[in-house]
A = this chain, B = another copy of it.
Amino acid sequence: MSAARVEDGAAVEARVRGAFAAQGLVRLLGAELLAVAPGRVAIGLPFRSEFGQQDGFFHGGILATLGDDAAGFAALSLMPPDHRVLTVEFKINFLAPGLGERAIARGEVVRSGRTLTVARAEVAVVQRGSERPVALLLATMMSLPSAAPP
């Protein structure tokens, strides 16, 4: 963690924004990185009809993707600069139908270890200006040297 500690906030943010922008999926969906701080990341996604499941809400897979990303980039923000993050596993509980104009996933690190990081994310939807939580995610992330094979 010493390497991360000497990085200043701006460097952490630039590093996370770079990894975020490199995701093809982000471009496909149109997700935005709303906020980055050490151990915390927020990601937003405006609703489009193609994100719907059969009932017209945000598909659970989209909410899971956002939550996974928010938790993963929160974990990455505390990893050494020359490392990347892999999701080992996650679990997600859906709390309410994802009906709204916009989804927001907020990820935070629960415990940061040398190899493994435990992180969680809350995914909310905003409907007519009012926000409510729709999913809760708990994940295990792994830190790998950028040069290592996946």
Contact = CB atoms under 8 A, between A and B. Distances in A.
Interface of A: 19-20, 22-25, 27-28, 48-57, 59-62, 64-66, 68-69, 84, 86-97, 99, 110-111, 115-116, 118, 120, 133, 136, 138, 140, 142, 150
Nearest to A142: B116
Contacts of A66: 61
Interface SS of A by simple majority: mixed
A140 B140 contact: yes
Given A55-B150, A138-B136, A89 B94 contact: yes
Nearest to A19: B54
A147 B90 CA distance: 29
A128 to B, nearest CB: 17
